[in-house]
Every structure is written in structure tokens, then in C-alpha cells.
Amino acid sequence: MNTQTGLTDNIAVTLQKNVPGRQKLIRTSDITQALGFIFLALCILVALFFLGSIIYFITSRGIAVISWDFLTEVPRRAMTKGGVAPAIVGTFYLTMGAIAFALPLGLASAIYLCEYSPGSVVVNIIRLSINNLAGVPSVVFGLFGFAIFVKILGFGVSILSGSLTLGIMALPGIISASQEAILAVPQSFREASLALGATHWQTIKKVVLPTALPGILTGVILNVGRVAGETAPILFTAATFYTRGYPDSIFSEVMALPYHIYALMTEGTHPEVQTQIAYGCSLILLALVLAISACAIILRQRQRIRYGS
């Protein structure tokens, strides 16, 4: 015991002797670290401040008009009375349509890119193109959707055209997220499956996809949530200022929350009332998008618990 303490003391002494000015060095780096930490904390606070103030601002101005009737009634008297139910329903249909289109397509693309031709030049070019697609401005997607779906394919201004346009916009994000989730499946799972005599496709279907599913769904939800609030892509492809009732087929044009806000703020004859309703709509849209994100977070959390990571 004694000898050991002595030994430790000796080492400590040697260390101090060998590194003169060590104390000072530690102090400077402490100060730098503290400054760095404060700076980073401030950055987070600023970001949180903006997020918080957006939520507060929209809620405080929008909450006044929210009522059961506002959520369930059709608009009346040139949009100054009644509710915005058709816009909520329209946004819901457009979002579901976008998922129905983008999920299978994005998932299939990701499977092909990861499992069937990894590392080739063609795949790298495709990957680069997909990433570039993610950078295309939304209004350009809107114009593209108008040209292709509304005009050339003749779907008209409709839920179908709008869903397809939104879907294409969500596609790059969905493909990237699915790729990440698929690549995160340990190679050892694939080996175990193949070594048991499974074919490549069985391995994908029964081991890779179930393991990657929570990650894929998280990616899909986040990306669809992002496009659900977009105005520009549906501006020329799906949205209309006012409908008397609810859409009756995928070829109907619809009201949608983002476009409705835009319309309330730029058209009509009662700006004060309309502005209030616009805040109400913003609040609903914000709540919808946050709810969608919350779903993604819960899914991701459940996945973490399952794999104990």
C-alpha cells in the first residue's frame, strides 16, 4: 500500500518535472473550451428562440378563430365566415397521394441502388442526380408538374397532378433516407441469411427491409411532412381558391391549407378578417406538420429501444 502510494507520487513528480508549464497549458485550454461552449450554447438558444417565437406568434394570433366549426365547416361569405374543412381535407388527400406514389418508388429505387448495383459508376451518377434533384426550387417542380401531369398527361388541375408533383418533390429525400436505413443494416445479418440458403431477394424481403423499416418510415414521414406544407408545387397543379364542397374524385381540384393562406393574404375584399383566418390556417398547418414529425420521432425512438442502441 505504502510503496504503491510512493510510486504514484513519484510518477506525478516526474510528470510535472518533465512538462514544465503544464498547469498553464491546461488553464488556457479550459478558457478556450468554456468560450467555445458558451458560443455553441448561444447558437442553440438563437435557433430555439426563432422556433419558439414562430410557434408563439402563430398560436397567439391564430387560436382566436379556431373552433369546432372552423375545422368542420365549408367557407362562406367570400371566405370571411365558416370554416376551412375542405382545405384540411385537400391537404390530407394530397399528402396521402404523395406518400402512395413516392413510398413504393423511393423504396424500390433505394433497394436497387444499395443491393443490386452498389459502387458502380452508373449508381454514383444516379446518386448525384438524386441529390441535385433535392436542390431544385419548389416552384420549378410546380411548373414541371403543370407541364407533365396537368397538360401532357391530361390529368388537369387535380388531386392526382398535385400528389404526383408533391411526391416527386419528396422523392430525393425518401430515396436518401431509405438508402441510409438499408446500408445501416449490418452486413452480418445478410451473411447469416444467405448462409442459411436464402436467396438475395428473400434476404432483402425478410431481413434487410424489416430491419430498415423504422428508418425508412422515419425518412418518408419527415420528407412528406416537409412537402405537405409546400405551396408552389400545388399552385398550378391541384389547388383552387374556393370549392363549395369536398372533392369527389382524384381528378377534382381541391382547396389546400398552404394555398388557402396565400389566397387569403393576397386576394379578397376583407383583409382584416382574412388575415385572422390565415393565422388560423397557419396554426392548423403547423400543428399538422409538427404532428407528422412527432410520428417520425416516436418511430425512431421505438427502433432505438428495439436494437438497444
Partner 1 sequence: MAPEVKISAQNIDFFYGKTEALKNISIDIYEKQVTAFIGPSGCGKSTFIRLINRMNDLIPGSRVEGQIMMDGIDINHPKTDVVDLRRRVGMVFQKPNPFPKSIYENMAYGLIIGGIRDKAFIEQRVVNSLKRAALYDEVKDRLNDSALMLSGGQQQRLCIARCLVVEPEVILFDEPCASLDPISTRKIEELILELKKDYTIVIVTHNMQQAARVSDYTAFMYLGELIEYDRTEKIFTVPKERMTEEYLSGKFG
Site residues (vs partner 1, CB under 8 A): 119, 186, 188-199, 202, 206-207, 210-211, 306-308
Rounded to the nearest whole angstrom, what is the least distance from the CB of residue 190 to partner 1 in the complex?
8
Between CA 274 and CA 167, with CA 146 as vertex, the angle to 5 degrees is 85
Q: Which is nearer to partner 1, 110 or 208 (CB)?
A: 208
Rounded to the nearest whole angstrom, what is the least distance from the CB of residue 118 to partner 1 in the complex?
8
SS (H, E, C) 191-217: HHHHHCCCCHHHHHHHHHHHHHHHHHH
Between CA 127 and CA 140, with CA 221 as vertex, the angle to 5 degrees is 55
Q: Which is nearer to partner 1, 211 or 274 (CB)?
A: 211
Q: Which is nearer to partner 1, 21 or 197 (CB)?
A: 197
Distance of CA 78 to the CA centre of its chain: 34
Rounded to the nearest whole angstrom, what is the least distance from the CB of residue 209 to partner 1 in the complex?
12
Q: Which is nearer to partner 1, 81 or 306 (CB)?
A: 306
Q: Which is nearer to partner 1, 120 or 266 (CB)?
A: 120
The residue with cell 365549408 is 74
C-alpha cell at 36: 467555445
Q: Which is nearer to partner 1, 73 or 115 (CB)?
A: 115
Rounded to the nearest whole angstrom, what is the least distance from the CB of residue 206 to partner 1 in the complex?
7
Give the closest residue to 163 by CA, choosing from 100, 214, 84. Answer: 100
Q: Which is nearer to partner 1, 22 or 205 (CB)?
A: 205
189: Cβ contacts below 8 Å, ≥ 6 apart: 207, 208, 211
Rounded to the nearest whole angstrom, what is the least distance from the CB of residue 124 to partner 1 in the complex?
14
The residue with cell 397557419 is 282
Query: Residue 240 CB: number of other CB atoms within 10 A?
Result: 18
What DSSP line would sit under 33-44, residue for residue?
HHHHHHHHHHHH
230: Cβ contacts below 8 Å, ≥ 6 apart: 138, 166, 169, 258
Rounded to the nearest whole angstrom, what is the least distance from the CB of residue 112 to partner 1 in the complex?
16
Query: Residue 168 CB: number of other CB atoms within 10 A?
Result: 22
Rounded to the nearest whole angstrom, what is the least distance from the CB of residue 201 to partner 1 in the complex?
10
